[in-house]
A and B are shown apart, each in its own frame.
Chain A
């Protein structure tokens, strides 16, 4: 299977702890996106990379959130000092910007629960 993969699939943590999620995009895709989705809502954009460059960050991405894509392949999203409001599904998507629609394909997501 050469789809987008995410790890872990589920994470339960206590308030105040740091967590890190990993995303591996489809191998030839140069763009990688992070979204967050809460129950009953559509995904909300957090940030995206083209190769290793972080090109856009949402105002939703507070200074407790940081994302990296060091070699233009996999990406990590770290949340420091987690809060209960961070509980959500964190979705990663990838795309190839040379295609007509630049279609984004999502991974299975990481469900975060902050106690």
Chain B
């Protein structure tokens, strides 16, 4: 079992729809969780951090964390073509390094 797993893509949604990206992790003691967006050929860009169970909203983005289920998700409301990218879920280990999932490619169709 991989330490961080993301739902396989690519995920295609129409413009204006809600995109839902999911991630599970194996280490129960993990405390900090991150979503990065990565455009093709570019480096990862931090878009959300979440630490506590529940929802955290930032503009069109909502991160959801359920530590009991070891599950993190990212919702993108009113998806735009500019949201088309690979989304990486990352979990911070106790030592500080990030453990990434393989990424989910999102395509928003106009």
Q: Could you say which residues of chain A place their CB within 8 Å of the CB of B101?
A: 42
Contact (Cβ within 8 A) B95 A105 = no
Given B43, B46, B92, which contacts A108 in the complex, CB threshold below 8 Å?
B43
- For the complex, what is the distance from the CA of A91 to the CA of B51, rounded to whole Å? 24
- For the complex, what is the distance from the CA of A93 to the CA of B34, rounded to whole Å? 14
Given A48, A56, A106, which contacts B44 in the complex, CB threshold below 8 Å?
A106
Contact (Cβ within 8 A) A33 B97 = yes
- For the complex, what is the distance from the CA of A103 to the CA of B47, rounded to whole Å? 11
**Chain B residues bordering chain A, tally (CB within 8 A):** 23
Chain B positions within 8 Å of A, measured between CB atoms, are 4, 32, 34, 36, 42-46, 49, 51, 88, 90, 92, 95-103
Assuming the contacts A41-B103, A45-B97, A97-B96, asked whether A91 and B43 have C-beta atoms less than 8 A apart, the reply is: yes
| Chain B minimum-CB-distance residue to A44 | B100
5 residue pairs of the A-B complex, CB under 8 angstroms, read: A33-B97, A35-B98, A45-B99, A56-B96, A91-B43
Q: Could you say which residues of chain B place their CB within 8 Å of the CB of A101?
A: 32, 34, 49, 51, 92
**Chain A residues bordering chain B, tally (CB within 8 A):** 27
| Chain A minimum-CB-distance residue to B100 | A42
Assuming the contacts A55-B95, A101-B49, asked whether A40 and B102 have C-beta atoms less than 8 A apart, the reply is: yes
Q: Could you say which residues of chain A place their CB within 8 Å of the CB of B96?
A: 31, 33, 48, 55-56, 95, 97, 102
Q: Could you say which residues of chain A place their CB within 8 Å of the CB of B100?
A: 42-44
Q: Could you say which residues of chain B place their CB within 8 Å of the CB of A105?
A: 46
Contact with B along A11-52 (1 / 0, CB 8 A): 000000000000000000001010100001111110010000
Which of A33, A42, A107 has the largest number of chain B CB atoms within 10 A? A42
